[in-house]
Amino acid sequence: MEELGLDDLKDIPIIHPSQHPKFREYVDKLYEMRNRKGIMLREAERLMADPDYFASMMVHMGDANAVVTGATQNYADCVRPILEIIGPGQRHTASGLNLVIFKNRMLFFADTAVNIDPTAEQVATIAIHAARVAEYFRIQPRIAMLSYTNFRSKGESPSKMRKAAEIVKKRYPHYIVDGEMQADTAVNPDIVERIFPICELKNGANILIFPTLDAGNISYKLVQQLGGAEVIGPFLMGVRKPANVLQRTCTVDDIVNTVALTALEAQAFNESRSSYPGPGEGR
């Protein structure tokens, strides 16, 4: 801070987990939460000395509003403490969401970070979480369930995505959702108008839901590296309190953007838990 001349930050506390006055309380709480998951007391002490476990416990115990991690560590190692301590919401489906800004257009990609091969029910829950994030930004959700076919549903993946669309419609009839469909059909209204007038997405989708983690993760990174889009995230949806994990390839701007949006999440969470997609349905 002195080298960079950041005088305004001098009063910000820097916490060493094992020296924090609540360290023992946090250790006991972790042991209480995880002792039937194979965590012994000595192991709880070791884990709580890890900054990711400590930060997650701070959020869980109400001593911090949110956590941002991951810039210098493996993604899976950072997600694990969040899921074990803060935990997923009622439907037990956490997922990753990326905001993709391209040619004055904002798109939401999911799942890009967590579920390797989600079930139809999980895909539906992921789509609903993404729709709630879009609504938070005052954007009407238009959800496309992506696959390698258009409205044929003969393979395992297309059938899963078609079923997921039906689940979303049943649970939230006012949402605009369709699929399964190919990615070009989802984002190009001309294709829908010319070839698939049966499709409900007349103005192009703004939420793209992928059938597997492979598809989602590959897509957003290709768009980012080759398409010139600005990609923010991934953000964690479906956890009880705001927590996000950066990619190790993130830039300083990525970190700043993620911290800013996480702060907005925390404010929304505190202001209106009933309308904010946090506990219960998940973020």
**What is the pLDDT, as a whole number, of residue 269?**
83
**What is the pLDDT, as a whole number, of residue 273?**
58
**What is the pLDDT, as a whole number, of residue 104?**
81
d(CA 29, CA 106): 41
Residues forming a β-bridge with 207: 108, 143
Question: For 132-161, b where at least 16 C-beta lie within 10 A, e where not — what string?
Answer: bbbeeeeeebbbbbbbebbbebeeebbbbb
- Looking at beta carbons, which pairs linking 23-31 to residues 24 or more positions away fall under 8 Å? 23/48, 23/54, 25/61, 26/54, 26/57, 26/58, 26/61, 29/57, 29/60, 29/61, 30/57, 30/85
**What is the pLDDT, as a whole number, of residue 90?**
66
d(CA 115, CA 94): 8
**What is the pLDDT, as a whole number, of residue 276?**
43
Q: Where in the chain is the domain with CATH 3.40.50.10750?
A: 95-237
**What is the pLDDT, as a whole number, of residue 61?**
94
pLDDT in tens, 206-229: 999 999 999 999 999 999 888 888
**What is the pLDDT, as a whole number, of residue 217?**
93
In terms of pTM, does the model score above 0.95?
no
d(CA 239, CA 115): 14
d(CA 275, CA 102): 29
d(CA 160, CA 120): 5
**What is the pLDDT, as a whole number, of residue 250?**
86
**What is the pLDDT, as a whole number, of residue 48?**
95
**What is the pLDDT, as a whole number, of residue 282?**
42
In 10 A of CB 254, how many CB atoms? 17
**What is the pLDDT, as a whole number, of residue 2?**
84
- Does domain 95-237 fall into CATH 3.40.50.10750? yes
Answer whether the bond into residue 111 is a cis peptide, omega within 30°: yes
3-state SS record for 100-162: EEECCEEEEEECCCCCCCCCHHHHHHHHHHHHHHHHHCCCCCEEEEECCCCCCCCCHHHHHHH
d(CA 10, CA 35): 39
Domain 15-92+240-283 fold is: Rossmann fold (3.40.50)
Q: Where in the chain is the domain with CATH 3.40.50.10950?
A: 15-92+240-283
d(CA 283, CA 279): 7
What is the phi-psi region of residue 69: left when phi exceeds 0, alpha when psi lies from -120 to 50, beta otherwise? beta
Which residue's structure tokens are 């801070």?
A: 1
How far from the centroid of its chain's Cα atoms is residue 181's Cα?
23
3-state class of 88 per DSSP? strand
- Tens digits of pLDDT across the chain (283 residues): 888 888 888 788 889 999 999 999 999 999 999 988 888 999 999 999 999 999 999 999 999 999 999 988 888 899 999 999 998 876 678 999 999 998 888 999 999 989 999 999 999 999 999 999 999 888 999 999 999 999 987 889 999 999 999 999 999 999 999 989 999 999 999 999 999 988 989 889 999 999 999 999 999 999 988 888 888 888 999 899 999 999 888 889 889 989 998 998 898 888 755 444 443 344 4
Residues forming a β-bridge with 231: 100
**What is the pLDDT, as a whole number, of residue 212?**
96
